[in-house]
Amino acid sequence: MGVATTRSSSEGVRPATTSGAGCTIAWRPTAGSPRPGRTTSVWPPQPGERVEERLETEVCVIGGGPSGAALALRLARLGHAVCLVERHAFPRPHVGESLTPGVWPLLDALGVGEMVRQAGFLPAREALVRWEDATGRRVRAPAREPGVLVDRGRFDALLLGAAASAGVKVLQPAVARRPERKADGWELRVLHEGRWVLVSARFLADASGRASCLGGRKVPVSTRTLALYGYWRGEIPHGPETRVEAGPDAWYWGAHLPDGTFNAMAFVDPESLRERGIGRRTLEPFYRELLGRSGLLGAWTAPRLVSGALACDATCYRDAEPIGEDFIKVGEASFSLDPLSSSGVQKALQTALSGAVAVHTLLVRPGSADAALRFYTDDQRYSVEQHAAWAAGYYREQHGYEERPFWKRRALPSPPTLAPPEVRPVAGDELQHRRWRLASEASLVDTPCIVGDVIEVRRALSHPRLARPVAYVDGVELAPLVEAMCEGLTMPQLADTWARQVPFRQGVALLGWFYRQGLLSEAAASDPP
C-alpha cells in the first residue's frame, strides 16, 4: 500500500498505508451492504446449452484475480494440470490498488516480482495521516522496499499471464454455471468464445471473491462497512503522498494512481445511507458531501470525478469451511480483512501460496489429508483473528471522535490474550552468565506445517504467550532443540548442547528469540547446573 510503519516485524502495517483492497464492486445501499457468500450461478443447464467441447483437468480454478492466478501458477509449477475460468476480459478496473511492502516476498516466491517492479507502477514512499489527532503527520516508508500503487487491471493481467505461461489453461472471458459435484470430482459448464465447454476436474478452487461460487456460511468478524469511492482528475495539494484521515462518522483514504487519477475513498456505516434515504441517484452528492468534510481530500484545484460514485462492501468475514478433500476457497472467497489491515492483496497471495501446498498435499499424499485440512483451516482462522485484533487496535488509537457511534462500533476491546512480557534490558555479559530453563508452561505439541512442498505433522513449541505453536524459526526446527535443553545452564552452555543441530552463533541467536518471547525462566539457585 502506501507507506508502511510497523509495530513489530510480525505485525500488520499501520493505517498510513490503508486502502479498500480486494473490494468487489456492488451496490445495495438501501438494503445494506451485500451479504457475503451469495452467488448468481445457475444450475441445471438452460435450453440451448449444448456442450460442444469437453475439457478434463486435475484442478479447476474459478476466478482470475490475484489469489486465483497465484494458486493456478503455483500448482502448475508443482506439476498439476490446471484450468482457470475468469469471467472478465483483462485488463479490467478493480479497486484495491495499494499494495503493502509485504507483497514483495510473495511476488518473488511466485517468480513475478521483477516483472511487477519493471511495470512502471508508483512506489508509495510517504503518507499524510490524521488519525490520532487533528494535526496530522507525515509517515515515511522504511528503508526497505516500499509499497506500491498499481493499476489493478494491469497488475492482475500480469499475474494471470504468468500463470498461462506456466501452462495453465485459461478460459477468458468465460461464464461458468454453478459447479456440480460428481462421484470422482466436479463438473461445470463454461460459455467460452460462444461455445459451451464441459470442464471435468478432480479438484475445485473457488477464487471468485465475495460472491463465492461455492457459497457456504460466512461468519462476520466486523461491523458492517460500506466503502464509497471514485476516481478523480485535478490537482491536489501536498504532492503524491497517500492520505489517511479519521472523520466524525467515516474514515478516508486516498492515493494517486499510475494512470494519473486519484482514488478517494470514504468508509461509512451502511445505516447512514439508509437513514438519509440515499439511493443510486443520490449517491454521488452524498459521496461529495463526505469528501467535503475531509481536510486531506477536500482541497482540490478544478476537481473532476471521472468515474461517478461507486460503492463496495468492506465488511469482514471468514468462511466457516474454507477447504475440503476436493475443494478450497482462496482470497475473498475464504475471508475478507478490514481495510485498516492494509493487506488485502497481500493476504490473497498468501492464501494462494499456503493453499497451493494444501491442495498439492491432498492430491499427492491422501494419507496426509487431515493434516492439510487442519493446516489451511487453522491458518485462515489465525489470519482473520490476528487482523481483526490489529484493526480494533487502530480504531482505538483514534482520538477526537471516539464517542461517536461509528468509532465505538469498531474500537472493540482486544481479545483476552496473554501478551509477551516486557523483558528488562540486561547487559549481554550479565545475560550470558545467568542460568536458564524452559518456561514451565511451554510444551511440544503435534502441529501440521509446511515442509518443502507438502503439509506434514511436526512437533511444535506451544506456550500461552505464543499466538500459535511454532515449529520453525529461521528455518531451524525447534523440537530437537527443546528436547536437548537441560535446566540450569547458561546461554553459552545451552548453545553448546545444540551444536549438533545448529552452529554456535545461530544457537545464541535462537536463545535470544526464546528470551524475547518470554520462553526462558531463570533457574533457581538449587537447580542443577
Domain made up of 428-522: CATH architecture: 2-Layer Sandwich (3.30)
Cell of 35: 451479504
Domain boundaries, the chain: 49-122+153-221+324-397, 428-522
Beta bridge partners of 262: 232, 256
Q: Tell me how long the chain is.
A: 529
In order along its 529 residues, the chain shows pLDDT tens digits of 333 322 333 333 333 333 333 332 233 332 333 333 333 344 455 555 788 899 999 999 999 999 999 999 999 999 999 999 999 999 877 776 788 889 999 999 999 999 999 999 988 888 889 998 878 888 887 767 888 888 889 999 999 999 999 999 999 999 999 999 999 999 999 999 999 999 999 999 999 999 899 999 999 999 999 999 999 988 766 677 889 999 999 999 998 888 888 899 999 999 999 999 999 999 999 999 999 999 888 777 668 999 999 999 999 999 999 999 999 999 999 999 988 877 889 999 999 999 999 999 999 999 999 999 999 999 999 999 889 888 998 999 998 899 999 999 999 876 555 455 555 555 556 677 788 999 999 999 999 999 999 999 999 999 998 989 999 999 999 999 999 988 788 889 999 999 889 999 999 999 989 998 989 988 865 555 5
Residues contacting residue 106 through CB under 8 Å, at least 6 positions apart: 70, 346, 349, 350, 353
Q: How far is CA 442 from CA 63, 198, 509, in A?
A: 43, 53, 19
Distance between CA atoms of residues 520 and 511, nearest Å: 9
User: Tens of pLDDT along 214-240?
Assistant: 999 999 999 999 999 999 988 766 677
Cell of 288: 461529495
User: φ and ψ at 475, to 5 degrees?
Assistant: 80, 0
User: φ and ψ at 470, to 5 degrees?
Assistant: -115, 120
Residue 492 near residue 508, CB atoms below 8 Å? yes
Closest C-alpha among 61, 23, 21, 39 to residue 330: 61
Q: Which helix (H) or strand (E) is 499 found in, with range? A: none
User: Tens of pLDDT along 101-121?
Assistant: 899 999 999 999 999 999 999
The per-residue DSSP string of 463-487 comes to -TTSSS-B-EETTEESHHHHHH--T
Q: Greatest CA span in the chain, whole angstroms?
A: 85
Residue 359 near residue 75, CB atoms below 8 Å? yes
Find out whether the peptide bond into 322 is cis, omega within 30 degrees of 0.
no
Q: 22: buried, middle or exposed (CB in 10 Å: 19+, 13-18, 0-12)?
A: buried
Domain made up of 49-122+153-221+324-397: CATH architecture: 3-Layer(bba) Sandwich (3.50)
Amino acid at 31: A
Domain 49-122+153-221+324-397 and domain 428-522, same fold? Reply is no
Q: 255: number of CA atoms within 13 Å, CB side?
A: 31
